[in-house]
């Protein structure tokens, strides 16, 4: 049986500060969220029980992380991020059985089975601080199964899994994942900013989609938060921080992204690109901030944990 009480507690958490209180949410939205919680729980229980049967003694644990674990899950746009950990690499026979299991889950018709996003990783993938970028058996949104590198073992997702991940079954992720340093988080964030987002300034075909515009804006808020503070925060928390700390001209854009709905008929392509340019242009100030923070942590407060959340 999954750790259902903890999962449901996270799903039902009140919204963080500066978001609408549950009492202000229309009843239809509350009913939809409650139905989503039930359906997700059913899918995760099936995934867990079938995976344990297939993997047998190789099974170490199953975890959910991301928005589902942080309390910022949005039934309209969020995926169900998970990871299954084994004690060693899986055989081809086991992988084939997992693929068949994945097809069965999707064939049951649940929307949430098609919104699973995760991988089956061995323990050694989390050892050491340098990810190996290997391909692991994975389930992707839409229900496809195959080898993929989803970056779960890399600094950003590794930190999210370690700090906020829920163990449905198995040891705490902190027992096999070392803390991720602020420097590693900033480096990983810059790698993504340059490797994924910078090319979209010259070829913004993804950003012509309204949902992707909202995703890009909230991701920039999250990246700017991590570059400034050296820790990971949820998209809603990062958006609230950015609204209060960035130039006020970004506030309307961030608020539109935070309240995005499929039928909002907004086009923020130009401003989304402008925010990406701003994040890229601000890199030098983050480097200087990182260096000064590094000196202060050694000279002024040697016992302070630089990765502690405020």
The DSSP result for 187-212, as a single string, is HHHHHHIIIIIGGGGT--SGGGSHHH
Q: Which residue's structure tokens are 């997700």?
A: 40
pLDDT of residue 13: 37
Q: How is the chain split into domains, by residue range?
A: 4-175, 182-299
pLDDT of residue 50: 97
Which residues on adjacent β-strands are paired with residue 147? 137
pLDDT digit string, tens, across residues 34-46: 788 889 999 999 9
Question: 44 with 80: CB under 8 angstroms?
Answer: yes
Distance from C-alpha of 185 to C-alpha of 41, rounded to nearest angstrom = 31
State how beta strands 166-169 and 59-65 pair: antiparallel
Written as six digits, the tokens of 17 are: 């500060």
Task: Please list, in sequence order, all residues whose beta carbon lies within 8 angstroms of the beta carbon of residue 219, skipping any fewer than 6 positions away.
Answer: 197, 235
Distance from C-alpha of 208 to C-alpha of 41, rounded to nearest angstrom = 34
- With a cut of 50, which residues of the chain have pLDDT below it? 1-2, 4, 6-28, 291-310
pLDDT of residue 30: 60
């Amino acid at each position: 049986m999954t750790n259902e009480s903890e999962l449901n507690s996270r799903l039902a958490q009140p919204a963080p500060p500066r978001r609408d209180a549950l009492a202000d949410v229309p009843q239809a939205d509350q009913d939809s969220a409650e139905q989503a919680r039930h359906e997700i729980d059913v899918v995760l229980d099936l995934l867990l029980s079938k995976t344990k049967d297939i993997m047998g003694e190789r099974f170490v644990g199953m975890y959910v992380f991301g928005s589902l674990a942080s309390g910022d899950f949005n039934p309209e746009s969020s995926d169900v991020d998970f990871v299954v950990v084994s004690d060693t690499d899986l055989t081809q026979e086991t992988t084939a059985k997992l693929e068949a299991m994945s097809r069965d889950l999707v064939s049951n018709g649940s929307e949430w089975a098609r919104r699973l996003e995760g991988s089956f990783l061995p323990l050694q993938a989390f050892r050491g601080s340098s990810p190996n970028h290997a391909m692991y058996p994975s389930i992707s949104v839409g229900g496809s199964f195959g080898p993929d590198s989803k970056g779960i073992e890399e600094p950003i997702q590794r930190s999210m899994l370690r700090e906020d991940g829920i163990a449905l079954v198995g040891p705490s992720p902190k027992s096999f994942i070392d803390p991720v340093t602020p420097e590693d988080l900033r480096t990983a964030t810059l790698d993504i900013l340059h490797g994924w987002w910078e090319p979209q300034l010259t070829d913004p075909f993804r950003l012509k989609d309204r949902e992707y515009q909202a995703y890009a804006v909230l991701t920039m808020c999250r990246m700017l938060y991590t570059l400034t503070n050296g820790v990971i925060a949820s998209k809603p928390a990062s958006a609230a921080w950015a609204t209060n700390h960035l130039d006020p001209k970004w506030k309307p854009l961030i608020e539109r992204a935070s309240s995005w709905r499929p039928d909002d008929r907004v086009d923020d392509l130009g401003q989304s690109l402008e925010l990406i340019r701003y994040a890229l242009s601000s890199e030098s100030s983050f480097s200087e901030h990182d260096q000064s923070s590094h000196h202060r942590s050694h000279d002024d407060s040697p016992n302070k944990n630089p990765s502690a959340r405020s």
